Structure 1
Amino acid sequence: MRVFIVGTGNMAGGIATRALAGGHTVRLIGTDPAKATTLADALSERTPGADVAPAVPDAVGSADVVVLAVPFDAAKQVVTEYGDQLAGKTVVDISNPVDFSTFDSLTVPADSSAAQQLAEAAAPGTHMVKAFNTTFAGSLVAGEVGGLPLDVFIAGDNAAARDQVAELAASGGLNPVVVGGLRHARELEGIQLLHMALQTRPEGHGWMSAIKIVAP
């Protein structure tokens, strides 16, 4: 599938690494084209033969999946600016609306989530999916922690869009866990709030830990 990633930071690089490992085409969109080119070059070196390149926003219409690998406020701006280009597309929100000054609360109302607010702001027909928000960039590049594949928790109201994101994760060696409708994005954001807060403690985990469902 054609995966367009909006963003050029560490999470964009981690998700792109998994998408390329799954054999998908990756296009990178950044506010700074030079950063998109630099990331594309680094990914090409990491995955020889990979189909990865920078792209412009107007090209997003050819995407199968659009990943918003940017903070929540920037994601709101993207869905507003891209407008009808996202209609009918599977759009993945990876953001966590965390109060980064304290790591003790979310910045969205208690009855909402970043993903739900983005869905409301997006053009009609946009299929918003919450995914990859409980993973860290370093562990995404590795694809595993402690010898186990990363779990990717997925929430969305459109079943076909959820399945598409699950396929993307699985093809890259990750374990997709579909939790249900987009209303569950709130719980996923809350889980990652705690996960992030643990990294700030003295014993920390170096931002390389993972949340994993394990059963006999």
Structure 2
Amino acid sequence: MQITIFGKGNMGQAIGHNFEAAGQTVTYYSSKDQATTFGDLIVMAVPYPALAALAKQYATELKGKIVIDITNPLNFDTWDSLVVPADSSAAQELQKQLPDSKVLKAFNTTFAATLQSGQVNGKEPTTVLVAGDDDDAKHQLAQALAGSPLQVKDAGKLKRARELEAVGFLQMTLAASEQIGWDGGFAVIK
């Protein structure tokens, strides 16, 4: 499967590492690059403020594509709130901007270190929670990661992205206040 990742930072590289470990082909672009090819899955591993511009720039190319939003729309000036409406999420806002795409929320409740190692705190498998309205798109994401060390769990409809973003926000604030490490976080244990 062909994977396109917007974002060459720690998260983009760690996510790409798992797709590559699963045998997929990954192409990386920065948010400032001019993308020329688009894979089956498009990962938006960029800061939340860059999401709208990418959606606008590539709306035509992203029609019919699975677009994965990994952002946590945190107010980085205050670190005390999310910047999306309380009854929405970054992923839901992206779906409005890309009505002909299949938007999923995933990878936002994991840190780059846990994605890279495949483990939370060196003990439990890293779990990727996925929310989205298209069951086939969620299945394709899970299949694309089969063979990587990650567990993929269906977290429900796209409206569940609100809760995923709240969990991501909580996890980031715990790490920033040094209550957990950047290799820690939440794990789903069977």
1:108 alignment partner, one of 64, 67, 84:
84
What is aligned with 1:57?
Answer: 35
- The 3 A distance-change label for structure 1 pair 205 and 114 is same
- State the partner residue of 1:7: 7
> For 2:156 and 2:32, how far apart are their aligned partners in 1?
35
Q: C-alpha distance in 2, partners of 1:125/1:100?
A: 30
Deviations 1:128-177 (Å, cap 9, x if unpaired)?
00000011111111111233210100000011111111223333210111
Contact in 1 for aligned 2:132/2:138 (Cα 8 Å): yes
The residue number in structure 1 matching 2:147 is 171
Measure the CA separation in 1 of the matches of 2:53 and 2:147: 30
Structure with the bigger percentage of helix: 1
Q: Deviations over 1:167-215 (max 9, x none)?
A: 23333210111011100000000011110110122x4333111211224
Structure 2 match to 1:210: 185
Aligned counterpart, 2:170: 194
- Note the aligned Cα RMSD (angstroms): 1.4
Greater alpha carbon shift after TM alignment, 22-31 vs 87-96? 22-31
Structure 1: any 5+ residue segments left out of the alignment? 34-55
**Secondary structure class of the residue paired with 2:11:** helix
Partner residue of 1:20? 20
**What SS class does the counterpart of residue 169 from structure 2 fall into?**
helix
Report the Cα distance in structure 2 between the residues aligned to 1:150 and 1:195, rounded to whole angstroms: 14
SS at match of 1:14: helix
Match of 1:76 among 24, 42, 52: 52
Aligned length: 189
Structure 2-normalised TM-score? 0.94
- 1:58 is matched by which residue type in structure 2? T
**Structure of greater Rg:** 1
Which segments of structure 1 move beyond 3 Å, counting only runs of 4 or more?
none
Q: How far apart are residue 31 of structure 1 and its match?
A: 4.2
Alpha-carbon separation, structure 2, partners of 1:95 and 1:11: 10
Map residues 89-100 of structure 1 onto 2, 5 A cutoff. 89-100=65-76
Within 2, Cα distance between the matches of 1:133 and 1:14? 12
Percent of aligned pairs with the same amino acid: 41
